[in-house]
C-alpha cells in the first residue's frame, strides 16, 4: 500500500523481519505464578505457525472467522498471528462479555472456531458458545469444556511454511463495537487500514526495540490492539502481560513501561491511591517547597511504576480536565488521545509529549495523513487510510456513518487556531429539559469529576426543568459511610455549587442522587469499555428521579429511600 510514497508491511511481514533480524530477542513476557515465561521472536513465530497448521488441520478454510475469548496473554498475540498465517479472520470477544452478546457475535460473524484463554467466570459465558463451534483452549486453567488443548495441537502439527501475501483490501479482523445502544456492530478492518495505522503510530511516537509495554486493557478493544499489539509488532518493543488484578501493581513495577496506555478510570484509581497516603493539602504543601518538589514527584512516579515512562496515554473515554491538571502538578503529563473503532483509533488527534494542551484531545496534526473537519452542525468528521471497510453485513449503517469517504464520528467538537481538537459532547447525547433548552451532559460530567469522592457520573434530565446528576461514590468514600455521610454530601454540594457558577442558567444542576449500585458491564450499566449506557442508567433510576421532581431537596441518598 502506498501513501505519500510510503510502503506498509503487514503485521506478518513485520514479524518475519524481527525473526530474521533478532530471532533470540525477547518479545513477550508472560507471568505464571509470579515467574516470567519469556518468548523470543523465533518462538512466537514457531508457535503461531504450528497453531496456523492446527486451525487448517481442524477443517477451517481461508476466509473463515475465528473468535478469540481471553484476557490478555502471550498466547493472545500468537493466536492473532496464527489466524493471519492461516488466512483466516479474527473476531475478538471481550473477556467479560455476556453469554447473549457472545452468542450474537459468534452467530453474526459465522465464526467456525473459538480460541479460549484466561477468563474470570468462564462457566457463566459457556452458554453463549454454540455447540457446533470448535473450541481450542490456551494453556491455562479454563472452567468450561475444551475440545482441543493448545499444547497438544502445537505438538501434533508442524509449523506451516506458508508466507501468505495479503492484499491491502483483504479483510483482517472483525471488531465488534460495544455500542451504548442496540446490538454490537462488526467493524471490518483490512490489512491496509491496520498496517497503515500501526506503522505510522510506531513511527510517530516513536516506538522502538528499547521500549517496554504492559498489556492489560482488553485486546478485544481497538485501542489496546492497535496501540500495544500493533505498535509493538511494528516497533519491535517488548510486551509484558498482567497475571491478575491482584498482581497488577507488581507486574507494573517489574515492567517499568516506557510507553503506558490506560483509561481514565485507572488514572482516577492511581490518584485515589496516592491521596490515601498523601492527602491533597499535604501534597500541595510539599510541592510548593522547591527542594522537595522534585523529590516528591520522583517518589510518586516510582511508587506508580511510571518512573521510566516517556509517554503515558489516556484514551477510550473522556478524562476529566481536573484529573489531567492534578497529574501535571505531580510531573506526569498525560497524553490524551481520541479515536474510534471505525478508524482503528488512529487519531484524529493526540497530545504528544512536550506539546500537551490540557482540555483538548490533542493536535490534529500529530498523526500523519489524517484529515479532520467540523461540519456546520458541529460534528467531527475524519478521513484517513485507517478507516474501516464498513460494518459487516450492515450496508445501511455503513452508509449512515461513512459519507463521501468521511467518517461521521457522532462527536461534537471544535478546533482552535493551533490545530487542537476539543470534544464538546455527543451529537445524540444532548437532551432537552422541560423548558425546551438543550443540555450536553458530557460537559457537566467533566466539571463534576473534580470531586475526588466521585467514581462515576451520569447527568440526565430529559423532561425535567433542570439537569439532575446520578453519582456512584468511590470505594474510599463508601468505606467511610455512614459516619462521613454529611461530610461527603457537603463536599459534593460544594463542588456542584462551584460548577454551577461556570454554567449557563439552563445547565445549572438542580439535584444530585447518590446511588447504591456499582455500575459495571455485568449489570448492563456500562459497556465492556467502561462507557456509561445512559439509556440503561436513566431507565433504572427514572422512578427515583421522578419521585423528587417537585421536591426542594437538593441531595438524595438512594439508600435512605427504601
Ordered by start, the domain boundaries in the chain are: 2-25+38-192, 259-307+310-426, 431-560
DSSP annotation of 263: -
Q: What is the pLDDT of residues 196-211, one digit of tens each?
A: 999 999 999 999 999 9
Position 426 scores a pLDDT of 81
Position 431 scores a pLDDT of 83
Average per-residue pLDDT in the chain? 93
Position 425 scores a pLDDT of 81
Residue 434's pLDDT band (boundaries 50, 70, 90)?
A: confident
Residue 1's pLDDT band (boundaries 50, 70, 90)?
A: very low
The architecture of the domain spanning 2-25+38-192 is 3-Layer(aba) Sandwich (3.40)
Residue 197 buriedness (CB in 10 A; 0-12 / 13-18 / 19+): buried
Residue 467 phi/psi, 5-degree rounding, is: -60, 145
Q: Answer whether residue 4 shows pLDDT above 70.
A: no
Position 421 scores a pLDDT of 97
End-to-end CA distance of the chain: 62
Q: Answer whether residue 96 shows pLDDT above 90.
A: no
Q: What is the pLDDT of residues 460-516, one digit of tens each?
A: 988 888 999 999 999 999 999 999 999 999 999 999 999 999 998 889 999 999 999
Contact 191, 167 (CB under 8 A): yes
Of 164, 76, 91, give the one whose Cα is nearest residue 129: 91
Residue 424's pLDDT band (boundaries 50, 70, 90)?
A: confident
Position 527 scores a pLDDT of 81
Residues above pLDDT 90, as percent of the chain: 80
Given this chain, do its domains 2-25+38-192 and 259-307+310-426 carry the same CATH topology?
Answer: yes
Q: What is the pLDDT of residues 128-176, one digit of tens each?
A: 999 999 999 999 999 999 999 999 999 999 999 999 999 999 999 999 9
Distance CA 357, CA 361 (A): 8
Torsion angle of the four alpha carbons 477, 482, 484, 485, in this order, in degrees rounded to the nearest 10: 90
Average pLDDT over residues 95-110: 94
Give the pTM.
Answer: 0.87
Helix (H/G/I), strand (E/B), else coil: 120:
coil
Bridge pairing between strands 171-176 and 186-190:
antiparallel
Q: What is the pLDDT of residues 357-400, one digit of tens each?
A: 999 999 999 999 999 999 998 999 999 999 999 999 999 999 99
Position 2 scores a pLDDT of 38
CATH topology of domain 259-307+310-426: Rossmann fold (3.40.50)
Position 179 scores a pLDDT of 60
Q: Answer whether residue 560 shows pLDDT above 80.
A: yes
Average pLDDT over residues 444-461: 92
Position 180 scores a pLDDT of 56
Q: Answer whether residue 534 shows pLDDT above 50.
A: yes
Position 524 scores a pLDDT of 86
Lowest mean pLDDT among 64-68, 88-92, 185-189, 276-280: 276-280
Longest dimension (CA), the chain: 74
Report CA-CA distances (Å) from 262 to 214, 411, 426: 10, 21, 22
Lowest mean pLDDT among 76-90, 246-260, 319-333: 319-333
Average pLDDT over residues 13-25: 98
CATH superfamily of 431-560: ANL, C-terminal domain (3.30.300.30)
Contact 389, 402 (CB under 8 A): no
Residues above pLDDT 70, as percent of the chain: 98
Amino acid at each position: 500500500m502506498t501513501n505519500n510514497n510510503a510502503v506498509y508491511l503487514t503485521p506478518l511481514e513485520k514479524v518475519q523481519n524481527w525473526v530474521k533480524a533478532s530471532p533470540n530477542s525477547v518479545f513477550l513476557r508472560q507471568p505464571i505464578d509470579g515467574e516470567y515465561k519469556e518468548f523470543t521472536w523465533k518462538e512466537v513465530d514457531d508457535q503461531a505457525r504450528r497453531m496456523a497448521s492446527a486451525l487448517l488441520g481442524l477443517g477451517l478454510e481461508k476466509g473463515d472467522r475465528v473468535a478469540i475469548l481471553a484476557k490478555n496473554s502471550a498466547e493472545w498475540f500468537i493466536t492473532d498471528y496464527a489466524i493471519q498465517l492461516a488466512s483466516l479472520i479474527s473476531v475478538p470477544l471481550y473477556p467479560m462479555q455476556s453469554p447473549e452478546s457472545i452468542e450474537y457475535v459468534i452467530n453474526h460473524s459465522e465464526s467456525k472456531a473459538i480460541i479460549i484463554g484466561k477468563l474470570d467466570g468462564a462457566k457463566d459465558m459457556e452458554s453463549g458458545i454454540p455447540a457446533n463451534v470448535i473450541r481450542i483452549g490456551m494453556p491455562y486453567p479454563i472452567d468450561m469444556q475444551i475440545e482441543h488443548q493448545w499444547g497438544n495441537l502445537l505438538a501434533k502439527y508442524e509449523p506451516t511454511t506458508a508466507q501468505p501475501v495479503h492484499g491491502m483490501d483483504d479483510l483482517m479482523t472483525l471488531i465488534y463495537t460495544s455500542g451504548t445502544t442496540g446490538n454490537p456492530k462488526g467493524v471490518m478492518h483490512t490489512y491496509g487500514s491496520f498496517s497503515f495505522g500501526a506503522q505510522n503510530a510506531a513511527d510517530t511516537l516513536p516506538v522502538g526495540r528499547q521500549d517496554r509495554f504492559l498489556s492489560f486493557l482488553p485486546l478485544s478493544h481497538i485501542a489496546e490492539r492497535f496501540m500495544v499489539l500493533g505498535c509493538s509488532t511494528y516497533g519491535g518493543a517488548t510486551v509484558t502481560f498482567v497475571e491478575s488484578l491482584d498482581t497488577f501493581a507488581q507486574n507494573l513495577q517489574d515492567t517499568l513501561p516506557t510507553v503506558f496506555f490506560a483509561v481514565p478510570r485507572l488514572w482516577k484509581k492511581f490518584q485515589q491511591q496516592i491521596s490515601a497516603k498523601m492527602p491533597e493539602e499535604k501534597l500541595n504543601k510539599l510541592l510548593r517547597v522547591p527542594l522537595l518538589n522534585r523529590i516528591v514527584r520522583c517518589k510518586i512516579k516510582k511508587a506508580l511504576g511510571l518512573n521510566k515512562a516517556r509517554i503515558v496515554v489516556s484514551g477510550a473515554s473522556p478524562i476529566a480536565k481536573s484529573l489531567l491538571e492534578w497529574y501535571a502538578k505531580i510531573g506526569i503529563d498525560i497524553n490524551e488521545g481520541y479515536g474510534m473503532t471505525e478508524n482503528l483509533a488512529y487519531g484524529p488527534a493526540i497530545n504528544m509529549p512536550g506539546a500537551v494542551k490540557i482540555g483538548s484531545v490533542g493536535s490534529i496534526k500529530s498523526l500523519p495523513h489524517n484529515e479532520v473537519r467540523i461540519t456546520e452542525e458541529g460534528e467531527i468528521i475524519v478521513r484517513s487510510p485507517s478507516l474501516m471497510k464498513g460494518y459487516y453485513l450492515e450496508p445501511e449503517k455503513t452508509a449512515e456513518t461513512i459519507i463521501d469517504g468521511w467518517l461521521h464520528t457522532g462527536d461534537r467538537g471544535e478546533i482552535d487556531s493551533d490545530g487542537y481538537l476539543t470534544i464538546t459532547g455527543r451529537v445524540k447525547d444532548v437532551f432537552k429539559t422541560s423548558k425546551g433548552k438543550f443540555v450536553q451532559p458530557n460537559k457537566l460530567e467533566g466539571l463534576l469529576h473534580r470531586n475526588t469522592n466521585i467514581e462515576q457520573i451520569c447527568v440526565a434530565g430529559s423532561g425535567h426543568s433542570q439537569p439532575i446528576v446520578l453519582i456512584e461514590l468511590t470505594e474510599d468514600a463508601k468505606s467511610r459511610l455512614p459516619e462521613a455521610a454529611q461530610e461527603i454530601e457537603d463536599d459534593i454540594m460544594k463542588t456542584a455549587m462551584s460548577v454551577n457558577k461556570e454554567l449557563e442558567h439552563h445547565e445549572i444542576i438542580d439535584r444530585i442522587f447518590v446511588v447504591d449500585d456499582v455500575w459495571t458491564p455485568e449489570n448492563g450499566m456500562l459497556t465492556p469499555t467502561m462507557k456509561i449506557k445512559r439509556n440503561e442508567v436513566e431507565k433504572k433510576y427514572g422512578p427515583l428521579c421522578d419521585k423528587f421532581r417537585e421536591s426542594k431537596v437538593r441531595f438524595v441518598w438512594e439508600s435512605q429511600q427504601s
